[in-house]
Amino acid sequence: MPPWKIKYPFFLFLFPIFFVLHGFTENFYFVSVKSALLVTAGYIISSLVLTAIFYFFSRKIMLASIMASFIVFFQFFFGSIHDFIKTFASHSFLRSYSFILPAFFLCSVMLFVLLKKRKDLSKLAIYLNILFAVLILVDVFSLVRKIIVNKNFENKTFSRAIYNDGERPDIYIVLLDGYPGYEQLKNGLGYDNDSFLVQLASRNFNTIRKTHSNYLFTPYSIASILNMEYVDSNQINDTREKSIPNAFRFINNNKLISFFKSKGYKFYNYSIFQVAGQPAPTGGGVVPANAKLINGNTFLSRFEKDVLFNIATELKWRWFLNRSMYQV
């Protein structure tokens, strides 16, 4: 690319691409490519709309692009900023939305006025273009490594016959994540959950009343169940950041589903995991539910959870509460 073109506001597109790519790489075993592309397209369109709005007031495309990126920055990293404030000022008004939003608006106005006084913003544009281009390359390298590791991952085959061909009863597995179990609910919390178990029994489910887990994290337990064996301790005694991906690979390339498919079964995934190459289901909206792993800490997601949910509870907006509580 000729040097004189680097000053163009490519960061307007590179910033959303970097944010989604980084989230996709971190959650490689959860988020589908389709989800990542849809989220990227949405953010790019939003950035262009914001640029058009600021251009209407300034008549300067570079200024408008920088301001749009500033708004997008607040959207992307609000969760981290908010968590940082809560860590060092947990009981202060500084953590409240009633302070953060006016402060952000004031900062936006001050930045707009400051940038409008500057005639040449090309150096800042060049810096942002190079910064996000480098960050994208770093994430691409990390993503390629994960793809290679995932393709090289092999499971032992499981060939033990359970049913003869033609005998294929429907099989369901319901696992309640975070559920303490019947005994702990009754003895520890004084809650009788018999009605729930009776409902399951009436549908011919087998339930276990005295339950426990061998692992601290859900992915290890699911990997163990779907492979019908204990997870190798050498693969989970490392740091969580290194060992969790191993569990994700065991879940995705598990023995149990491979066996059932070899016997003519169809598999339907309604979990939060990618299982046997099948991504987590959508929540009925335009963007699949697994995209929440990328968007979960953005401003709009936090605002909906922290503010709108409370408003909906006070005003009894059933449609909003049902969507928030029951949508996958």
pLDDT value, residue 324: 63
For a pLDDT cut of 90, what percent of the chain falls above it? 29
Do 47 and 16 contact (CB within 8 A), yes or no?
Answer: yes
pLDDT tens for 183-230 read: 778 887 888 888 888 888 888 888 877 777 788 778 888 888 898 888
Which range scores top for mean pLDDT: 22-36, 132-146, 311-325?
132-146
Which residues are CB-neighbours of 298 under 8 A, at least 6 positions away? Answer: 75, 76, 78, 79
Q: Which of 21, 275, 287, 39 is nearest to 135 (CA)?
A: 21
What confidence tier does 157 reach under pLDDT thresholds 50, 70, 90? very low
What confidence tier does 282 reach under pLDDT thresholds 50, 70, 90? low
pLDDT value, residue 242: 58
pLDDT tens for 283-326 read: 545 455 667 778 888 999 888 888 887 887 887 777 766 666 55
* CA 85 – CA 161 distance, rounded (Å): 57
Q: Which two tokens stand for residue 320?
A: 């909003």
Q: Please state the rounded mean pLDDT for residues 143-148.
A: 86
Backbone dihedral angles phi then psi of residue 282, each to the nearest 5 degrees: -85, 165
Do 282 and 289 contact (CB within 8 A), yes or no?
Answer: yes
Backbone dihedral angles phi then psi of residue 182, each to the nearest 5 degrees: -60, -50
b/e map of 91-124 (b: 16 or more CB within 10 Å)? eeeebeeeebeeebeeeeeeebeebeeeeebeeb
